[in-house]
A and B are shown apart, each in its own frame.
Chain A
Amino acid sequence: AQSVTQLDSHVSVSEGTPVLLRCNYSSSYSPSLFWYVQHPNKGLQLLLKYTSAATLVKGINGFEAEFKKSETSFHLTKPSAHMSDAAEYFCVVSDLNNDMRFGAGTRLTVKP
């Protein structure tokens, strides 16, 4: 069975500094991997996805993630945090049948 572990439940950064949200996955097959963002009291919005093409995936709002098979990781990064990035972020792994498994989430706080 596939699974996702988000290594930090809460990350706090200052505005203008880099963001790193860590995600490790487990899957028997070549997975599809996603990052979603959820702002307070909102639904989930897709940030980016990996589906076996380029290992460095660029998403919306300046986010990107790198698929590292040897490390079974799919960490999310952004060079410079903005106040509007404060939200909860979910890493998701999907198998051949589109059975999606969510991580527990990482809450990102951005300090002025």
Chain B
Amino acid sequence: DAGITQSPRHKVTETGTPVTLRCHQTENHRYMYWYRQDPGHGLRLIHYSYGVKDTDKGEVSDGYSVSRSKTEDFLLTLESATSSQTSVYFCAVRQGTSTDTQYFGPGTRLTVL
């Protein structure tokens, strides 16, 4: 499982509230990613990090922000949750080279009412 944990695993919240999801890894991977999974879309990249304090936007970044203050933790924040952000969120990690495999965490199921 590449030493990846996500918390919480399930969350129900209301529209307009802030939400932070945490991804924690224990194997010192340089790159970390946040994806969302929706039926019919596969996984889509939200944001990624290529080092401490180094992040960049992905395909569907609107409404999300991220932070990485330590190598092992990558936080995804929904500043004001909307119902369209109801989804399953996956964190992934990879080591160094561009052909390396991404390894995925167990996912967080978020429901925004």
Report A's interface with B, CB cutoff 8 A. Answer: 4, 9, 32, 34, 36, 42-46, 49, 51, 90, 94, 96-100, 102-105
Contacts A49-B101, A96-B98, A98-B31 given; does A90 touch B106 at CB 8 Å = no
The bracket for how many chain B residues form the interface is 20 to 34
Whether B98 lies near A34 (C-beta < 8 A) is no
Contacts A90-B43, A102-B42, A104-B40 given; does A44 touch B104 at CB 8 Å = yes
A104 to B90, CA, bound (A): 16
Whether B94 lies near A98 (C-beta < 8 A) is yes
Chain B at the A interface: mostly helix, strand, loop or mixed? Answer: loop
Nearest CB of A to B37, in Å = 9
Q: Which 10 A-B pairs have CB atoms at the shortest separation, nearest pair first?
A: A102-B42, A44-B104, A51-B99, A102-B43, A43-B106, A43-B104, A98-B98, A104-B42, A32-B99, A105-B42
